[in-house]
Amino acid sequence: MADVRKKVIAIIAEQLAKPEDSISESSHFVDDLGADSLDTVEIIMAIEEAFSLEIPESEQEKIRTVGDAIAYIEKHAKA
Amino acid sequence: MSTPIHRRRVVITGVGTVNPCGLDATETWDNLLAGRSGIGPIDRFDVSDFACKIAGQVKGFNPDVCIDKKEQKKMDIFIHYALGAAHEAWVDAGFDRVELTKAEREVFGTYIGSGIGGLSTIWDEANGYRGPRRTSPFFIPSLIVNLASGQASIKYGLQGPNSAVATACATGAHAIGDAARLIAFGYADRMMAGGSDSVINQLGVGGFAAMRALSTRNDEPQRASRPFDVDRDGFVMSEGAGIVILEEYELAKARGAKIYAEVAGYGMSGDANHITSPAPEGEGGQRVMRAAMKDAGIAPEQVGYINMHGTSTPVGDKLECMAIHRVFGDHAKRIKVSSTKSMHGHLLGAAGGLETIVTALAVKTGKIPPTINVDNQDPECDVDVTPNKAGTFDAEYAMNNGFGFGGTNACLILRKV
């Protein structure tokens, strides 16, 4: 599952125009990476796209860190 | 008996532009005085099926200079251009070197309009549409007309009036006139004002071409925009931004600001005639020029130069010249005019912003950029159009006209300070 981690970090780096090495699993989108509420929506959309997922809105609200995103994907992504 | 209204003087203390003739005001002014055209073939999409294959495209603009990379994709290109021009105006006025107080920021506003807004973003989003779950949350804020003003206010921390106007091709002139009034009547001390537009895409070019508004002189792009010439066949669509810093005169003087010109008068009028055609004798243009002179408290003889709307359409140019004859009478024979759209093309909502800068520089220097491509002047455009070579004038006042679809007209009068 190292691939998921790598891919998620790449997506977030691209969306927020940040170097990948500044992002870790514990990074909080808003508090650590400076994302606003709209950035967060776009990150979720990009993740849905990349992993062919549909994340329900109630679940989207719980994804607040890079680690949250990785955990959700690992649990729900089709193999 | 009416109460006299206290009115403060308003001056232009900073200018900035991005357009096909230059990426800043200095380069633009030099190119305009030299009579150089910025028009060329459209290279952004396949024009095979289009009647019009030419435009005034901005070349070499680098948004990295003025917009954080992360923010760039959240903005349509018209906002990129607006922030490029805003940055130049901000620095030109010297605000990068002074720390404005909170109180000063609260009376410093933004008023940057756009004729159309983010049409390129709409086009891209609609073409790649994959359903509501795939529509970016930045789609709307990147394209709505007032977001040039909104982004500029955020960037520079300007907490005064934050508004925008959308009056088609009169947008830039209206924005500057409206913003100057906010200062004149005390609702703000300083304003960043102007216009921005960029719609050189399939919808923009196709839409204007469908109205038969665009020149189809595709083989000679640099000769296509030819206001007042008998062979003119429509305007050349262009893009960019023109933004000025307006400031209450005493404040500008107190901080030793460089002053380009005073905004001495502003007129507005409506044609109430047709959605796209001017009134049959240019009555809307007549009324707006008279209104501006009344506002400035001057007589027609005091105006030495007019930067005309002059888009190079057969009817528009003729009627604007007719309006000048009606308004200026005998003085119409002596007054100098030009249409710099012959070089930079028609920037739509940004036209009035750029042309106010051109008019301000004309007032400041006494130099007039020419109307190029006047090989055979139309007898129905019988005014001194400063054909093909830059000219000079010696007068205290100059005028800038802007007319838009919907029969909306703006006229600004600038005064030498």
Q: What is the pLDDT of residues B331-341, one digit of tens each?
A: 999 999 999 99
Annotated active-site residue B309? The verdict is: yes
d(CA A28, CA B292): 56
pLDDT recorded at residue B2: 64
Q: Which residues of A are catalytic?
A: 36
Name, in order, each residue with C-beta under 8 angstroms of B101's C-beta and a sequence gap of 6 or more: none
Tell me the average pLDDT across A23-43: 95
CA B53 to each of CA B20, B117, B220, B260, B284: distance values in angstroms, whole numbers, following the listed order: 16, 22, 11, 37, 32
Chain B's closest residue to A39, CA to CA, is B137
| A20 to chain B, closest Cα gap in Å | 14
> A63 versus B6: which is more confidently predicted?
A63
Q: What is the pLDDT of residue B3?
A: 67
Question: Scanning every residue of chain B, which has its alpha carbon at the shortest distance from the alpha carbon of A49?
Answer: B134
Instruction: Give the model's pLDDT for residue B292.
Output: 98
Give tens-digit pLDDT for B2-24.
666 789 999 999 999 999 999 99
Average pLDDT over residues B368-378: 98
Q: Do A38 and B137 count as a contact with CB atoms less than 8 A apart?
A: yes
- B136 to chain A: which residues are within 8 Å by CB? 42, 45
Spatial neighbors of B71 by CB under 8 A, at least 6 apart, are B151
Q: Which residues of B touch A38 (CB under 8 A)?
A: 74, 137-138, 141
Question: CB neighbours of B415 closer than 8 A, spacing ≥ 6?
Answer: B261, B262, B263, B264, B296, B363, B396, B397
* Confidence grade of residue A77 (pLDDT, cut at 50, 70, 90): confident
**In this predicted complex, what is the ipTM?**
0.87
Calpha distance B222→B107 (Å, rounded): 43
Contacts of residue A55, Cβ cutoff 8 Å, sequence gap at least 6: A44, A47, A48, A63, A72, A76
- Report the alpha-carbon distance of residue B385 to residue B378 in Å, rounded: 11
Task: Categorize the per-residue pLDDT at B273 as very low, low, confident or very high, splitting at 50, 70 and 90.
Answer: very high
Q: Which of B288, B315, B323 is nearest to B413 (CA)?
A: B288
Grade residue A1 by pLDDT with cuts at 50, 70 and 90. Answer: low
Any catalytic annotation for residue B331?
no
Q: Which of A39, A57, A59 to mutate to test the interface with B (most CBs of B within 10 A)?
A: A39
CATH architecture of the region B10-254: 3-Layer(aba) Sandwich (3.40)
Residues of A in Cβ contact (< 8 Å) with B141 = 38
Instruction: Kindly report, residue by residue over B105-138, the tens digit of the pLDDT.
Output: 999 999 999 999 999 999 999 999 999 989 999 9
| Percent of chain B whose predicted confidence (pLDDT) is above 70 | 99
Interatomic CA distance for residues B247 and B250, integer angstroms: 9
Count of pairs with CB atoms under 8 A, one residue in A, one in B: 19
Q: 3-class secondary structure for chain A? A: CHHHHHHHHHHHHHHHCCCHHHCCCCCECCCCCCCCHHHHHHHHHHHHHHCCCCCCHHHHCCCCEHHHHHHHHHHHCCC
pLDDT at residue number B6:
85
One fold for B10-254 and B266-415? yes
What is the mean predicted confidence (pLDDT) over B257-262? 98
Residues in A touching B138 (Cβ below 8 Å): 38, 42
Q: CB–CB of B141 and A45 under 8 A?
A: no
CA distance A41 to chain B (A): 7
* Nearest residue in chain A measured CA to CA from B72: A17
Residues of A in contact with B74 (CB under 8 A): 38
| Inter-residue contact B247 to B285 (CB < 8 Å) | no
B169 is catalytic: yes
Kindly name the residue from B80, B87, B174, B309 that is annotated as catalytic. Answer: B309
A74 touches chain B (CB under 8 A): no
Q: Do A45 and B134 touch (CB under 8 A)?
A: yes
pLDDT tens-digit map of B190-247: 999 999 999 999 999 999 999 999 999 999 999 999 999 999 999 999 999 999 999 9
- Would the CB atoms of A38 and B68 count as touching at under 8 Å? no
Report whether B8 contacts B186 (CB < 8 A): yes
Contact between B133 and A48 using a beta-carbon 8 Å cutoff: yes
Minimal C-alpha gap between B130 and chain A (Å): 11
CA B75 to chain A, closest CA, distance in angstroms equals 13
Residue-wise pLDDT tens digits, B57-108? 999 999 999 999 889 999 999 999 999 999 999 999 999 999 999 999 999 9
A53 interfaces chain B, CB cutoff of 8 Å = no
Fold designation for B266-415: Peroxisomal Thiolase; Chain A, domain 1 (3.40.47)
Residues 20-39 of A with CB under 8 A from B: 38
Q: Measured between CA atoms, how close is A39 to chain B, in angstroms?
A: 8
- Domain range annotation of chain B: 10-254, 266-415
Q: Which residues from chain B sit within 8 angstroms of residue A41, using beta carbons?
A: 137
How far apart are alpha carbons B369 and B385 in whole angstroms?
10
Instruction: Report the pLDDT value the prediction gives residue B412, as an integer from 0 to 100.
Output: 98
